[in-house]
Structure 1
């Protein structure tokens, strides 16, 4: 799946899209996706892959848009003790960290 996401990101970039890649870098407990899972997002709103099985993709996609605008990578921390995680639906009791970077 990682290779597919990198191929998708490269293809979208070659087609002229701005692209950001979000990667699960750490998990604890009952996290929805394993470390290494990826979500690819374009400035035009296209998405492929998953970092959470759907429960935080919207929040990660928003950060990806910001990262494409600013060029600044971000490390996101979602978990049961994180109020935002509940807002976006990470109620599974797990925790995960997602690194978001703009594809150069």
Structure 2
């Protein structure tokens, strides 16, 4: 019996959406430091029409990543995002973990 990881499921979903004619971007956590809500390799797929699958942060930065994904779909230019915050401001901006992460965003196809 074979199993798939969450990342493989997200890639399969993104491929299906692309096959349906959607423009798709993939965001991947490429680096973490300290306490981070999702490990490196976690993925988020976003379509031009607003479909979303997966998670790069457990919800705390998904909105910002989805916005950059829309920009990346439009331009075709990949982007490397760097998120981090001091423990003092962590709750205020939604990064309750206080950690840091880097997310690579690219257009599929």
**CA drift at 1:14:** 0.1
By how many angstroms is 1:89 displaced? 1.4
Displacement of 1:88 after TM fit?
A: 4.4
SS in 1 for 2:58: coil
Stretches of 4+ aligned residues off by more than 6 angstroms: none
* Partner residue, 2:103: 98
Structure 1 residues not aligned, in runs of 5+: none
| Residue ranges of structure 2 left out of the alignment (5+ in a row) | 1-5
- 2:47 — aligned with what? 42
Give the number of the structure whose alpha-carbon radius of gyration is greater: 2
Q: Does 1:64 align with 2:69?
A: yes
Which TM-score applies when normalising by structure 2?
Answer: 0.88
- State how far apart, in whole Å, the 2-side matches of 1:70 and 1:87 are: 31
Q: Report if the CA contact (8 A) 1:80-1:94 is conserved.
A: yes
Could you tell me the TM-score, scaled by structure 1's length? 0.92
Deviation at 1:92, TM superposition (A): 1.6
Kindly state the Cα deviation for residue 37 of structure 1 after the two structures are TM-superposed: 0.1
Partner of 2:3: none
Does residue 6 (structure 1) correspond to residue 11 (structure 2)? The answer is yes
Distance (whole Å) between structure 1 residues aligned to residue 58 and residue 67 of structure 2: 16
Residues paired across the two proteins, number: 101
- When the two chains are superposed, the root-mean-square deviation of aligned CA atoms in Å is 1.4
